[in-house]
Structure 1
Amino acid sequence: MRKWYVINTHSNQELRAEENLVRQGFQVYLPYFLKARKHARKVDIVKKALFPGYIFVELDPTSDNWGSINSTYGVRRLISAGSKLPSLPDGFVTDLREAKIDQELSDPDLKPGQKVKFLSGPFANIIGSLSHMIDRERISVLLNLLGREVKTSVSRFDVTTVT
């Protein structure tokens, strides 16, 4: 019977492990979110694992040849308890997929260029312009302070939209 099992990956090698396991014919699932990465004055959107260091593989341990998993590039080891493979609870991966975890960085209320007002802190009641989403919880806001634009990053819950 096919069930889902957990694979421990090397640090930051989830995508590599996923690619190599798919190439070998395994059914894998890597829940991720998109994150803005700033490098060399550019902002790139990259995939980041929702569970860093782990991906899921569907297999039947009695009939599938899963011995090659531990020697796959990016994989540290298939999680096991001695010679037994503990499977994930039924419906775990299905529930993750239905939760639509793998979504774009977006908040229906926040869009780049939109005016936002700080709710608390040193910038309380100051209005700025949303530059971009950094990740699921942080945003970058442009403020006009002392005659010039200043970029700051804050929790998306520290601002509200201005209509």
Structure 2
Amino acid sequence: MKSWYLLYCKRGEQQRAKLHLENQNLTCYYPEVEIEKVVRGSRKAMNEPLFPSYVFIEFDEELGPSFTTIRSTRGVVDFVRFGGLPTKVPDTLIMDLKKIEIHNEAVSTLPKAGDVVQVSGGQFSGFEAIYKESDGEKRSILLVTLINQQVRVPISNKDITWDRDK
């Protein structure tokens, strides 16, 4: 009977491991999430792994391939184990992850309106400001306090830093 297992892969080689595992007729699941990032000053939607360095695989351990064959696959380090044996992952977990992935909306790594940001470059370098809104792909409008008044100032996205955890 087929069961799901979790593999730990070499850093950045999940795609390679998935390809080589699929060549062995194994079912692989590599959940990704779409996020929005600022890359070189412009917004880009990118897919990133939900669990970096991990790939789920489904196979029947009696029919093969063997655990050793799977561990020897390019990009794979080892199975996630508890007590020395590869641990089975519940089918319900995989189904839940797939549901979440289907209903995924882009997660923004950009500040939200009202977030306090630091200006790290340009003429307002060192100033603390309030993020107001996006101004196209490469700039944002910030509220900078000058002489006790908040002024709307367009600033390049690459010159904005903020604490993402707040």
Q: Structures share a fold, TM > 0.5?
A: yes
Alpha-carbon distance in 1 for matches of 2:164, 2:85: 44
Q: How much does 1:117 deviate?
A: 3.6
Q: How much does 1:96 deviate?
A: 0.8
Mind listing any 5+ residue stretches in structure 2 that lack a counterpart?
118-127, 145-150
Q: How much does 1:32 deviate?
A: 1.1
TM-score normalised by structure 1 residue count:
0.65
Query: In the alignment, what sits opposite 1:75?
Result: 76
* Higher Rg of the two aligned structures: 2
| 1:82 to 1:118, Cα distance in 2 relative to 1, 3 A | closer
Query: In the alignment, what sits opposite 1:127?
Result: 132
What is the letter of the counterpart of residue 65 of structure 1?
A: P
The worse-fitting range, judged by mean Cα deviation, of 53-62 and 83-92 is 83-92
What is the letter of the counterpart of residue 13 of structure 1?
A: E
Contact 1:30–1:55 (CA under 8 A) maintained in structure 2: yes
Query: In the alignment, what sits opposite 2:140?
Result: 142
| 1:156 to 1:129, Cα distance in 2 relative to 1, 3 A | farther
Instruction: Quote the RMSD (CA, aligned, Å).
Output: 3.6
Paired residue secondary structure (2:56): strand
Paired residue secondary structure (2:85): coil
Query: In the alignment, what sits opposite 1:88?
Result: 89
| 1:103 to 1:130, Cα distance in 2 relative to 1, 3 A | farther
Q: How much does 1:10 deviate?
A: 0.4
| 1:142 to 1:157, Cα distance in 2 relative to 1, 3 A | farther
Percentage of identical aligned residues: 21
Paired residue secondary structure (2:89): coil
Cα deviation digits, residues 27-52 of structure 1 (max 9, x gap): 0000111343625x676544321111
Q: How much does 1:93 deviate?
A: 0.5
What is the letter of the counterpart of residue 87 of structure 1?
A: K
How many pairs does the alignment contain?
142
Query: In the alignment, what sits opposite 2:106?
Result: 105
Q: How much does 1:18 deviate?
A: 1.0
| 1:46 to 1:52, Cα distance in 2 relative to 1, 3 A | same
Contact 1:6–1:88 (CA under 8 A) maintained in structure 2: yes
Q: How much does 1:89 deviate?
A: 2.3
Contact 2:32–2:49 (CA under 8 A) maintained in structure 1: yes
Alpha-carbon distance in 1 for matches of 2:23, 2:8: 18
Query: In the alignment, what sits opposite 2:10?
Result: 10
Cα deviation digits, residues 50-73 of structure 1 (max 9, x gap): 111211000111122133211111
What is the letter of the counterpart of residue 149 of structure 1?
A: I
